[in-house]
Amino acid sequence: MITAEIIAIGSELLTPFRSDTNSLFLTRSLEEHGVKLVAKGIVGDDINQIVFAFRTAFERADVVICSGGLGPTIDDLTREGLSKFLSIPLEFHQDILNSIEERFRRFGRKMPDINRKQAMVPQGARVLANHNGTAPGIFLEHSGKQVFLLPGPPFELEPMWEQYALPLLRKGPPYERKSFRIAMLPESQVDEMLKPVTDNLRDVQYTILAAPSEIEIHLFAPESAADELISAAAEVRSILGKHLYADELEPLEAVVGRLLKEKNRKVAVAESCTGGFVCQRLTNIPGSSAYFDYGLITYSNEAKTTLLGVAAELIATHGAVSEPVARAMADQTRKLAKAYYGISVTGIAGPEGGTLEKPVGTVFIGLSDETQTTVNEFRFIGNRPRIRFASSQAALNLLRLRLLD
């Protein structure tokens, strides 16, 4: 078993305002290549803390991957930290300096002197070229360990990793992962439904991850257990059936878009409490103009009447957050847009506006086509962003289920 630790270096990553995201990309790649991540760490721009982090990582992992701290400023100390920890001096590389100078020239600027620092490399290390920035990466083998120093910006780190680091990485027997997503079912219910499969797994590892209004299932196995993985995945698919909306973590809006394209149908949307969230998600998918033309954000009662022609008395009688208004909104938006489907969302996202009868989180979702109009009532829990996301999730999932009929 080859083990790895990822260390993100940078004082800004110890503030309340920034997270390390590079490690998610790296983790994905490591598991594909049979390397087990045992720890992740973050330290600031402090030479002693960096040395300490290297020492710790050398104790618990075979491969140490660092991101950040390769820039030209006095705060960039990753090279120095590695050099100090291993007692290996830094050497000046003229060819690196040349390529940094060349890069500045291409952008019509003169290289500042401080960038010379980026041409310093620990003796015996290999340089990893950076085609997207000035900081070269560094690779070193020492005492049986592999060390990779990578630049912090993801658009520099990712291509460097793929092109230059990955070929050098010590690899293990690869692992495979099958992932599934489910909307609108509670975690405990999904977990219970899958027990017949998950209780009998041998070499396949099962994880269930719950986010608001979305459950992810992961099955994870070494290549040697590929058959068990395939059959477990097939059982999961068969148990969850239509509840399962995606293999391989495709977003719900992409699945809906694919189904609309396959059937050559369009959808129009009228939103109240979600205020554009459903439209925004649908149009986040490239090529969505094939199936989406019209969205109407009718936030006020007057807008529902003026834009959609929902009768003012209907709203006065039942309230804007009601089954009949959701029904009228869905029907009217479909007709107005001459679309195959009309979706509507009207509800109370809070924190104000709830009543005893219709508390915050009450949401009606309408779905209309030529043959039928259905309205579903939900009671979502959580704060405003969570209720809005859950509503958009429910709307897209209802459309997905209708498309599968």
- Backbone dihedral angles phi then psi of residue 151, each to the nearest 5 degrees: -70, 155
Residue closer to a second copy (CB basis): 27 or 373:
27
Q: Identify the CA nearest to 125 among candidates 96, 154, 157, 156.
A: 96
Min dist. Cβ of residue 332 to a second copy (A): 13
User: Nearer to a second copy by C-beta: 198 or 298?
Assistant: 298
Report the nearest approach of a second copy to the CB of residue 89 (Å): 26
The residue among 1, 11, 5 whose CA lies nearest residue 147 is 5
Based on CB atoms, which residue is closest to a second copy, 39 or 129?
39
State how far Cα 327 lies from the chain centre: 34
Q: Whole-number minimum distance, CB 351 to a second copy, in Å?
A: 6
How far is Cα 368 from Cα 327, in angstroms, rounded to an integer? 8
Distance in Å, CB of 27 to a second copy, minimum: 4
Between CA 318 and CA 304 the distance in angstroms is: 14
Q: By C-beta, is 125 or 389 nearer to a second copy?
A: 389
- What is the residue type of 157? L
Q: Which one, 188 or 238, has the nearer CB to a second copy?
A: 188
Question: Mutual orientation of helices 47-60 and 78-86 as an angle, nearest 10°?
Answer: 60
Q: Going by C-beta distance under 8 Å and a sequence separation of 6 or more, which residues neighbour residue 167?
A: none
Q: 52 vs 378, which CB is nearer to a second copy?
A: 52
Do 242 and 401 contact (CB within 8 A), yes or no? yes
Closest separation in Å from C-beta 134 to a second copy: 14
72 touches 79 (CB < 8 A): no
The token duo for 231 is: 């059959």
**Which DSSP symbol is given to 85?**
H
- Look at residues 328, 327, 332, 345 and name the one whose alpha carbon lies nearest to residue 394: 345
**In the complex, minimum distance from the CB of residue 100 to a second copy, in angstroms, rounded to a whole number:** 18
Nearer to a second copy, 192 or 302 (CB): 302
Q: Whole-number minimum distance, CB 403 to a second copy, in Å?
A: 19
Report, in Å, the least distance between residue 95 CB and a second copy.
27
Q: How far is the CB of 349 from a second copy (least distance, A)?
A: 8
Distances (CA, A) of 123 to 59, 90, 126: 22, 6, 9
| Rounded Cα–Cα distance for residues 403 and 397 (Å) | 10
Nearer to a second copy, 255 or 360 (CB): 360
How far apart are the C-alpha atoms of 243 and 252, rounded to whole Å? 12
**CB closer to a second copy, 275 vs 324:** 275
**Three-state DSSP class for residue 390:** helix
